[in-house]
């Protein structure tokens, strides 16, 4: 049933949001050099890599300077990118990932291989499930960039504190996923965006 809802909502979302996609594409192209979309390898269900799609919010090749975004004014983020990130508009192309079956609307946010390789056996259970656009951890850590900006070593803090807590939250959801929780997380996500 959840897969059916994923297909239905992602297809409707892509159709309804097509004008938004076109406007965002023009803004990105006018504000900085580079492609409209950003593709990044993430780890999905079955420990398989897939290409996650986002609107590009950083200057070209900025991801080579680090995988984590720290603080609200990371200099790698374009002015348009700041706005897209603040309102989570950069995540909208992931509806394509949902339609393709790489992702669900609700499920653990997919990580890059570098961090997945650090999972212990219990944490690896998360890879038995389709990753999602949103989850309980996305709601709790909606201000993750700000939290990391206050850490002495942002990457170490992410690995030692934030990542394990995100996995814990997701495993709680995945042990008993229900339609009620699915819709609850979607609605809470909308209200967490400020």
State yes or no: pLDDT of 13 exceeds 60.
Answer: yes
CB atoms within 10 A of CB 81: 25
Confidence of residue 149 (pLDDT cuts 50, 70, 90): confident
- Report pLDDT digits (tens) over 31-61: 999 999 999 999 999 999 999 999 999 887 7
Mean pLDDT, the chain, as a whole number?
92
- Say what the pTM is: 0.89
Query: CB of 110 within 8 A of CB of 131?
Result: yes
Question: What's residue 176's pLDDT?
Answer: 87
Collapsing DSSP to helix, strand or coil, 40 comes out as: strand
**Mean pLDDT over residues 15-27, rounded?**
97
**Residue 181: exposed, middle, or buried by beta-carbon count in 10 A (0-12, 13-18, 19+)?**
middle
Question: What's residue 59's pLDDT?
Answer: 87
**Mean pLDDT over residues 76-100, rounded?**
93
Question: What's residue 150's pLDDT?
Answer: 87
pLDDT > 90 in the chain, percent: 75
Tell me the sheet residues that pair with 55: 37
Confidence of residue 145 (pLDDT cuts 50, 70, 90): confident
State yes or no: pLDDT of 165 exceeds 60.
Answer: yes
Q: Using alpha carbons, list the distances in angstroms from residue 69 to 5, 39, 75, 96, 155.
A: 31, 16, 10, 24, 10
How far is Cα 64 from Cα 53, in angstroms, rounded to an integer?
17
């Amino acid at each position: 049933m959840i897969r059916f809802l994923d297909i239905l909502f992602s297809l409707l979302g892509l159709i309804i949001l097509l004008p938004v996609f076109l406007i965002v594409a023009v803004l990105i192209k006018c504000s900085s050099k580079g492609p409209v979309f950003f593709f990044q390898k993430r780890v999905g269900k079955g420990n398989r890599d897939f290409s996650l799609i986002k609107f590009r919010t950083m200057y070209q090749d900025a991801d080579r300077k680090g995988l984590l975004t720290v603080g609200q004014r990371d200099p790698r983020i374009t002015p348009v990118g700041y706005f897209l990130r603040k309102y989570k508009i950069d995540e909208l192309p992931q509806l394509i990932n949902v339609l393709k079956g790489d992702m669900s609307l609700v499920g653990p946010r997919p990580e890059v291989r570098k961090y997945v390789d650090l999972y212990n056996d219990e944490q690896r259970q998360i890879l038995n499930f389709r990753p999602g656009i949103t989850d309980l951890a996305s709601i709790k850590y909606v201000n993750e960039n700000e939290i990391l900006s206050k850490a002495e070593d942002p990457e170490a803090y992410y690995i030692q504190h934030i990542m394990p807590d995100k996995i814990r939250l997701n495993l709680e959801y995945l042990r008993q996923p229900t339609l009620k929780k699915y819709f609850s997380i979607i609605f809470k996500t909308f209200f967490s965006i400020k």
